[in-house]
Structure 1
Amino acid sequence: MPKSNKVTADCNRQRIVEKASSLFREKGIENVTVAEVMQGASMTHGGFYKHFASKAALAAEACAGAYGQVEKARKTWLDGEGRHTLTTFIENYLSVRHCDNPGHGCPIAALASDVARAPENAQLHMEYLAGLEAVVAELNTRIEHSHPEKEHSALGILATLVGALVISRATKGSPISEQVLLEAVSFLKRRPSASSTM
């Protein structure tokens, strides 16, 4: 394949992955068709199989892409002194903006139901787990190194963050939706390690 054709093919593949990543997080993998993804990427449905063997293959790559996209966004979650603190992570993760934009948000919350229904050995499941472990590792860097149960604390924090976000999205339109975000932020910020830096 000539270099220019390969560059075009790679760009097209990336467009498909980015569109799928957004649509899958917004609507759920099962609720989005290949035709919708390709239309959103401004490409023909027939061109899909030049890039992917199946929708499942696309879902796995889109999941990995979502983690990469959100990781870049988290690098901007800084406090007034330019530090990456646990507090800035908590406040940004449980913001109304994040809650209202699942298509650009954390795949841990957005894709949990789809992944739970996928076989354990599916590539989607493996990509989801790898991304989740990376987020736990990042949270660990924001917690005091002297904390006696560092790993469990990070998992507990993540579980609270994801649970609050899922409940808030599920109750949109009710006062509970915003209240659960505020309550979770308040609960997590009472932790003594919430202001620790990377």
Structure 2
Amino acid sequence: MASARAAAEGRRDEAWARVRHDFVSAFAACKADDFEALDDLETLACGQALVTKALTFYFPGRFLPIFSAQHLRRFADILDPGSGAALAGTRTWQANRWLLAKVRDSEAFAGWSPHEVMHFLYETYDPRVPPLHQMLTYIAGYTPPSAPMAVIVHPHASGPARRTLKVGARGRTPVTVEVVGIDTGQPPAQALSPLAEVIGEFKDRVAAGPA
């Protein structure tokens, strides 16, 4: 027991040493304006929002105070339509630097501080989903066993989506599972029209019972 605990503590200390080393290396790279070197620090890839936040704190003039990769891509599309998709898979700190470069190239933001830019983007083009919308998209419903059907609804940022699955064991009636993706980029009233359609089918199945 003692040896296992010691081994676990040794692995923990080794992991912490690696993470600390990469954070120190990241700070040194930013101080030298060697931002490409950040991508070589593999342990930081698992917490890119946190890393970008730390870099922004220590180097406020070299990053925007925006730490979500999804939000960065959304704002990139605002400033340069279509660029958000091109940034998919890019490390968050690099997407942040890309957006900062676009802001600096824009006369509209001349003289603005990074925080002023951040507040403007969130106040004008807030990509966050309203809480009510989130509540409406995380729901599930089930019919009685006599009419096996399930409806699962989930948020889908890239537009409405729907697919039908058949699930069941041999010798038993398969369950029809309708998986509906709600477009979180639309207002709730508009985004919920696909859900209204599948709920109508759901109610018909319950009313009809087994075929």
What TM-score do you get using the length of structure 1 for normalisation?
A: 0.30
What TM-score do you get using the length of structure 2 for normalisation?
A: 0.29
Q: Looking at both structures, which has the greater relative contact order when contacts are Cα pairs under 8 Å and sequence separation is at least 6? A: 1
Larger radius of gyration: 2
Which has a greater percent of strand?
Answer: 2
Which has a greater percent of helix?
Answer: 1
